[in-house]
């Protein structure tokens, strides 16, 4: 799986633009949380590029202000770990903790 690192809140505008052409996934990950590590591992093990989703990875410990901006931009309350699927500039699917799964993402796409 080839993650695109989300390290700047300016990238959120790029993500919105990209989401007009293809769905975009934002994975918010806490590097010190075992539940987050498990959700990340499950997503990576099951990932299939054929889904046509561009994946972004946000390290919450290094970039927490970006998560706050995501909450404001997309109206989805912050949780960790958390995935958001962005299509046409809007969040069309979100899941957190043990609800994060590739199968759930597939259904949302």
Which CATH number covers residue 20?
A: 3.40.30.10
Report the C-alpha gap between 81 and 84 in whole angstroms: 10
pLDDT at position 96: 96
pLDDT, one tens digit per residue, over 48-106 is: 999 999 999 999 999 999 999 999 999 999 999 999 999 999 999 999 999 999 999 99
3-state secondary structure of 82: strand
In terms of residue numbers, what domain contains 48? 4-108
- Give me 80's structure tokens: 């960790």
Q: How many structural domains does the chain have?
A: 1
User: Is the pLDDT score of 27 beyond 90?
Assistant: yes
pLDDT at position 1: 83
81 preceded by a cis bond (ω within 30 of 0):
yes
With a pLDDT cut of 70, the percent of the chain lying above it is 100
């Amino acid at each position: 799986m080839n993650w695109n690192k989300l390290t700047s809140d300016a990238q959120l505008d790029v993500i919105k633009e990209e989401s007009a052409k293809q769905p975009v996934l934002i994975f918010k990950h806490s590097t010190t949380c075992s539940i987050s590590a498990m959700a990340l591992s499950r997503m990576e093990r099951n990932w299939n590029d054929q889904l046509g989703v561009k994946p972004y990875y946000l390290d919450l410990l290094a970039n927490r202000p970006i998560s706050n901006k995501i909450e404001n931009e997309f109206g989805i309350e912050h949780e960790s770990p958390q995935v958001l699927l962005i299509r046409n500039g809007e969040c069309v699917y979100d899941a957190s903790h043990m609800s994060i799964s590739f199968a759930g993402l597939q259904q949302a796409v």
